[in-house]
Amino acid sequence: MKKRKPENIAQEDWDAVDSPPLSDSMLSAMKPVGERHPEIPPRVRGPQKAPRKVPVALRLDPAIVNAFRATGPGWQSRVNAVLRDWLEEHKPA
């Protein structure tokens, strides 16, 4: 499996790295970081900086979902923004 070069790394630097494949003995000796270094605390996600969104199940027309998905990652946030804009124009009584 060939790794893809990140855009922020120069091709010259990428080519200069010589990482040999891991052998079976190397792989069998590997242990999770928590086992090798119990002094390192586990990573914990901090408190939310903004109010949480509410997960819901929503049934939409396939054409709507396909159109938003075609816009790429973040499409669900864009659906949220469209609904927020609509709500601003159509405030409940």
Q: Say what the pTM is.
A: 0.47
Domain assignment present for residue 15? The answer is: no
71 token code pair: 């816009």
Q: How far apart are CA 92 and CA 82, in angstroms?
A: 16
Residue 75: partners with Cβ closer than 8 Å, 6 or more residues away: 68, 69
Domain assignment present for residue 83? The answer is: yes
Domain assignment present for residue 47? The answer is: no
Helices 62-69, 75-89: crossing angle, 10 deg rounding: 120
Domain assignment present for residue 2? The answer is: no
For 33-91, what is each residue's pLDDT tens digit?
A: 889 899 988 888 888 888 788 889 999 999 999 999 999 999 999 999 999 999 999 98
Structural domain boundaries, residue 73: 56-93
Q: How far apart are CA 90 and CA 82, in angstroms?
A: 12
26 token code pair: 């190397």
Number of domains making up the chain: 1
Amino acid 69: pLDDT: 96
Q: Return the higher-pLDDT residue of 1 and 15.
A: 15
Residue 24: pLDDT over 90 = yes
Amino acid 1: pLDDT: 56
